[in-house]
Copies of this chain bind each other. A is one copy, B any other.
Amino acid sequence: METDEFQLQQFLPYLLNQAAEASSLEFQQIYKDRYGMLRTEWRVLFHLGLYGRLTASDIGQRARMHKTKISRAVHRLNERRFVDRTRNEDDRRVEYLSLTRQGQAAYNDLRAVARRYDAALMDALDPAEAEVLRRALLKLSEAGPGGFT
């Protein structure tokens, strides 16, 4: 048995994807069932709930989401009266997005669920471990491997 054998379970991108998928599954089910939202829509909703009025570009930067995804998510959220769109009259290219009353209610509800969900996930970890995990994930989110290719 070679000791330097490559282990798939040790490959960080794989591990991260597995953990991300496993940990998202049940929560995804909740916003889908309750509000018929897709992941992109949920993300837009949460950004607006957290930061208030934003443009599509703002959300794109913060969430690292492509503008076409955002455009379509916003369209659907607006259609279902979760989001208001108001054009900036000083620069008619940009449009401000904000939650409607209904959007705010959905956000409040899902935020509460998310808090409990997060706590339940954390139960699998001890507190020190959880803290290190968060820090590490933030670092990894910043960028990929430094100038790999």
Contacts of A50 in B (CB 8 A): 6-8
* Closest chain B residue, CB of each to CB of A28: B13
Query: Contact: B133 with A133, CB < 8 Å?
Result: yes
CB contacts under 8 Å to B, within A1-53, are: 6-27, 29-30, 43, 46-47, 50
Chain B nearest CB, measured from A35 CB (Å): 15
Contacts of A137 in B (CB 8 A): 15-16, 18-19, 133
Contacts of A19 in B (CB 8 A): 16, 20, 137-138, 140-141
Binding site for B on A (CB under 8 A): 6-27, 29-30, 43, 46-47, 50, 64, 111, 114-118, 120-125, 129-130, 132-146, 148-149
